[in-house]
């Protein structure tokens, strides 16, 4: 098979959550353990860092990988979802896994995995772990797919676990309260493995869930939002207590919280005997060149100027609250235009209610089955005081926004990772 035929086969043979949602979710780790045993437990041959949470997992994972690379380590990075190409999920020192290796994995292993009827994510995880072993990485940063306790990445024993934050998402799988979701996320806390919690939002019940789980597992726990490591922050420049002053490439408002989480994680990593201490130079280099070093896309990413176009993958109230604040704080622009689409299993009304009412909206839908129809988006938006029109595709909505925009306007594209993915795929072509 060609690479494209292989990817088409994987999408069809193994259900992909980002396309169909709940129908792709497989609870339990039985398939994961069978695949792992079949491949020889590859993740045991290198160090790992495990990153879970509701929002910020991708930014934290990519930045840590960039810092580790800058320190001279050979670094695997496994994240999800992909935006343009499946291979974005599996990288070594920023380079995507070769198309040929994906094809060969399916050709060589399908006789074993087809009877298991695995999910797409189970196969992708197995491939990533094996590829990192073959590439002889020193360490791999592994992002949790969904939840934690039953996520198929949770077979690893990392040197550090990170949980960025908790908000209501995937409630049909993880629970209907923040405490229930926190318990699922806390499932990545391993015995005697240090864990960093990025933020609890002042929720003492959530904090208690993590503290009790860590105590049960004998895992040293740090709450990053209680450390006050960041002394000041403005336009990506951070002044810190222990890491000096540096410029970060990621500028979204949510990145201050992510940076506090990363700095707390770095302090823990530098205290471990299993890993050589990371120098201030490597840390500063990683923060300032994360996109170049790891290929990160879609985090307050500027696509053009005159008019200014920015996209962001924030896709739930927890993430969109920061985007909404940032949009409201924009200065020097004539008109704000927002291209927005969401998926039907998210809190669409809650997310839309956060967005500024003074903008002009271009409601749309991504090319996935989970996408809420653009007409329904427009109806919900109208009820919340958001004025605009519906467009059947992201491309049409984006082109309409550009056509309407003057040079001094600001165009934002987001609401869903899949909206951003459609846009970036179109621009790539």
- The secondary structure of 94-141, three-state, reads CEECCHHHHHHHHHHHHHHHHHHCCCHHHHHHHHHHHHHHHCCCCEEE
Confidence band of 174 (pLDDT split at 50, 70, 90): low
DSSP string, 301-346: EEEETTTEEEE----SHHHHHHHHHHHHT--S-S-EEEEE--BTTS
Mean pLDDT, the chain, integer: 93
Residue 11 has pLDDT above 90, yes or no: no
301-428 folds as 3.90.190
Domain-wise residue ranges, the chain:
3-294, 301-428
**Structure confidence by residue, pLDDT tens digits, 134-155:** 999 999 999 999 889 999 999 9
Residue 173 has pLDDT above 60, yes or no: no
Residue 168, pLDDT score: 66
Of 3.40.50.2300, 3.20.20.70, 3.40.1190.10, 3.20.20.370, which CATH number belongs to 3-294? 3.40.1190.10
Residue 38 has pLDDT above 80, yes or no: yes
Residue 175 has pLDDT above 80, yes or no: no
Residue 171 has pLDDT above 80, yes or no: no
How many angstroms separate the first and last alpha carbons of the chain? 23
Cis upstream peptide for 191 (omega within 30°)? no
Residue 256, pLDDT score: 95
- How far is it, in rounded angstroms, from Cα 128 to Cα 116? 18
Q: What is the helix (H) or strand (E) element at residue 388, kind and residue range? A: strand 387-390
List the single range of 38-47, 277-286, 310-319 with lowest mean pLDDT. 310-319
Q: Over pLDDT 90: what percentage of the chain?
A: 85
Contacts for 385-388 with beta carbons within 8 Å, 24 or more apart?
Answer: 385/357, 386/352, 386/355, 386/357, 386/359, 386/361, 387/357, 387/360, 387/361, 388/338, 388/360, 388/361, 388/362, 388/363
Residue 232, pLDDT score: 96
Residue 191 has pLDDT above 90, yes or no: yes
Residue 169 has pLDDT above 80, yes or no: no
Residue 22, pLDDT score: 45
Residue 27 has pLDDT above 70, yes or no: no
Confidence band of 23 (pLDDT split at 50, 70, 90): very low
Residue 20, pLDDT score: 40
**Structure confidence by residue, pLDDT tens digits, 239-254:** 999 999 999 999 888 9
Confidence band of 176 (pLDDT split at 50, 70, 90): low
**Structure confidence by residue, pLDDT tens digits, 323-369:** 999 999 999 999 999 999 999 888 899 999 999 999 999 999 999 98
User: Mean per-residue pLDDT for 362-384?
Assistant: 96
What's the pTM value of the predicted model, to 2 decimals?
Answer: 0.93
- How far is it, in rounded angstroms, from Cα 414 to Cα 313? 6
Residue 419 has pLDDT above 60, yes or no: yes
Q: How many CB atoms lie within 10 A of CB 235?
A: 7
Residue 21 has pLDDT above 70, yes or no: no
Of the candidates 153, 124, 150, 152, the one whose C-alpha atom is nearest the C-alpha of residue 61 is 153
Residue 39, pLDDT score: 98
Phi then psi dihedrals of residue 115, to 5 deg: -65, -20
């Amino acid at each position: 098979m060609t690479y494209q035929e292989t990817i088409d086969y994987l999408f069809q043979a193994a259900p992909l959550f980002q396309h169909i949602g709940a129908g792709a979710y497989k609870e339990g780790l039985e398939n994961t353990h069978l695949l792992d045993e079949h491949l020889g437990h590859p993740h045991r041959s290198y160090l790992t860092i495990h990153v879970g949470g509701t929002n910020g997992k991708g930014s934290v994972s990519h930045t840590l990988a960039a810092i580790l690379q800058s320190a001279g380590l050979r670094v695997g990075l496994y994240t999800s979802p992909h935006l343009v190409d499946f291979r974005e999920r599996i990288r070594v020192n920023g380079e995507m896994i070769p198309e040929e290796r994906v094809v060969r994995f399916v050709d060589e292993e399908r006789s074993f995995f087809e009877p298991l009827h695995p999910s797409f994510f189970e196969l992708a995880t197995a491939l990533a772990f094996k590829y990192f072993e073959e590439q002889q990485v020193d360490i791999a940063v592994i992002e949790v797919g969904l939840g934690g306790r039953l996520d198929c990445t949770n077979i690893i024993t990392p040197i550090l676990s990170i949980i960025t934050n908790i908000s209501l998402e995937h409630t049909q799988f993880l629970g209907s309260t923040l405490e229930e979701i926190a318990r699922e996320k806390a499932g990545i806390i391993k015995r005697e493995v240090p864990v960093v919690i990025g933020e609890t939002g002042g929720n003492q019940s959530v904090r208690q869930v993590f503290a009790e789980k860590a105590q049960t597992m004998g895992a040293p726990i740090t709450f990053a939002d209680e450390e006050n490591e960041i002394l000041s922050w403005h336009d990506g420049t951070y002044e810190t207590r222990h890491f000096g002053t540096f410029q970060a490439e990621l500028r979204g408002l949510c990145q201050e919280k992510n940076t506090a989480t990363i700095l707390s994680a770095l302090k823990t990593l530098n205290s471990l005997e299993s890993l050589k201490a990371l120098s201030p130079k490597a840390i500063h280099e990683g923060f300032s060149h994360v996109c170049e070093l790891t290929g990160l896309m879609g985090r307050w990413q500027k696509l053009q100027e005159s008019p200014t176009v920015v996209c962001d993958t924030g896709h739930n109230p927890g993430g969109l609250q920061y985007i909404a604040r940032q949009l409201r704080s924009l200065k020097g622009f004539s008109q704000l235009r927002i291209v927005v689409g969401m998926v039907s299993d998210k809190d669409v009304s809650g997310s839309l209610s956060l967005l500024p009412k003074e903008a002009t909206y271009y409601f749309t839908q991504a090319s996935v089955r989970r996408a809420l129809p653009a007409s329904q988006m427009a109806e919900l938006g109208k009820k919340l005081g958001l004025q605009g029109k519906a467009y059947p595709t992201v491309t049409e909505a984006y082109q309409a926004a550009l056509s309407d925009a003057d040079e001094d306007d600001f165009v934002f594209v987001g609401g869903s990772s899949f909206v951003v993915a459609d846009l970036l795929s179109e621009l790539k072509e």
